[in-house]
Amino acid sequence: MKHWPGFLAQVSVLFGFWLILSDQYGATFLVFGFVSAVLVSLVTNRIIATVLHHPHGSVANRIVRAWWFCVFAAWVLWEIIAASVQVAYFAIHPGLPFRPGFVRFTTTMKRPISRVVLATAITMVPGTMTIRLDGDHYLVHALLPDAFDDLRTARMQNMVGRFLGEEPEEPPVITWEPIPEAVR
């Protein structure tokens, strides 16, 4: 493993996060938390190193990209909360008409990791799920047509692209295919 400082920093952050969330300080919890932090770091360290050590990444560029990652993480968390409230509202009020369907679009992101992170971010937001990613073509299921507004405006693509070193993207051509009433 050639990124030891990053690996140790990641283990430390994850273990600290574990301590904060668990609020348990017994030996069993500490060992379990530390082992979990090490295992997660072993699995994800290469991905994180790939993101942070972009071929043309100076120290300043890495700091900027780390900043944009934090902005992206906060933004996705907000989107998850807002979409959760919207989906819960529809669950509590079953008489409301929801219109599920499929969204098709293409991205201009060059790096495979960027496209995968975008697909993952889409799926993390309640009410949307990436069904297929084939090269730069996406098929996404959405409960409501407005659930993919951030894709329609390329906001989500550009949030991902900022911290992964991609060029800004223009809003894509999106097709909405509603699921027929008889199938629902």
Q: What's the pLDDT band for 133 if we cut at 50, 70, 90?
A: very high
Structure-token pair, residue 177? 């295919």
Domain ranges in the chain with CATH number 3.30.70: 60-178
At 178, which helix (H) or strand (E)?
strand 175-178
Residue 7 has pLDDT above 90, yes or no: no
Sign of CA dihedral 131, 134, 136, 137: negative
Whole-angstrom distance, CA of residue 123 vs CA of residue 134: 15
Q: How many beta carbons lie within 10 A of that of residue 147, not counting itself?
A: 24
The pLDDT value recorded for residue 50 is: 64
The pLDDT value recorded for residue 52 is: 59
Between residues 137 and 166, the one the model is more confident about: 137
Return the SS3 of 23.
coil
Least confident of 43-57, 89-103, 134-148, 163-177: 43-57
Mean pLDDT of 71-85: 92
The pLDDT value recorded for residue 104 is: 95
Structure-token pair, residue 101? 């369907």
Q: Which CATH class is domain 60-178?
A: alpha beta
The pLDDT value recorded for residue 1 is: 53
Instruction: Write out pLDDT tens, residues 44-73.
Output: 877 666 665 655 567 777 778 778 888 999
Whole-angstrom distance, CA of residue 133 vs CA of residue 104: 10
Phi-psi category of residue 100: left, alpha or beta, with phi > 0 → left and psi -120 to 50 → alpha: beta
The pLDDT value recorded for residue 57 is: 62
Mean pLDDT of 3-30: 86
The pLDDT value recorded for residue 76 is: 92
C-alpha to C-alpha distances, 45 to 33, 66, 153, nearest whole angstrom = 17, 15, 32
Return the SS3 of 100.
coil
The pLDDT value recorded for residue 99 is: 85
Query: For the whole model, what pTM was predicted?
Result: 0.73
Mean pLDDT of all residues in the chain? 86
The pLDDT value recorded for residue 41 is: 87
